[in-house]
Amino acid sequence: MILPVFAEPISDRTGLKTTFSVMVNSKPVNIETTANFDVRTISFEDDTLVIQIVSSLENNIGELQIPNEITKGEMLFSLDGAQISPKILQNDKISFVTLEFVGNGTH
């Protein structure tokens, strides 16, 4: 018996959780992401966290949990060369960053 399958997206605001390990001062540090876009890589270069994003959706939302041992002082964010202002919440262990942006493709 073959049954037909019809699928619809659950929601364009549903995210997948991924953990990335980056080297900071010769020590591995985990950064957690939950996003409705594909976070391909995260690296730490010259005191800058570089995140490669690929999205097939127009409206994007993602959350990052960044350990405070990476963040020293004010955090600045840019997307496609333009500065953005995500929502940032902090406690004594992490910075919790919520990114929302429009546009599909590679960022």
State the chain's mean pLDDT as an integer: 87
Tell whether the model's pLDDT for residue 97 goes beyond 60: yes
Nearest to 47 by CA among 74, 14, 12, 85: 74
pLDDT at 16: 87
Specify the range with the lowest mean pLDDT, choosing from 2-6, 11-15, 44-48, 85-89: 2-6
Give the separation between CA 47 and CA 37, rounded to whole angstroms. 25
pLDDT digits (tens, 9 = 90+) for 23-52: 988 899 999 999 999 999 999 988 889 999
Q: What percent of the chain has pLDDT over 70?
A: 88
What value does the mean pLDDT take over residues 91-106? 92
Give the separation between CA 32 and CA 56, rounded to whole angstroms. 21
Q: 56 vs 12, which has greater pLDDT?
A: 56
pLDDT at 74: 81
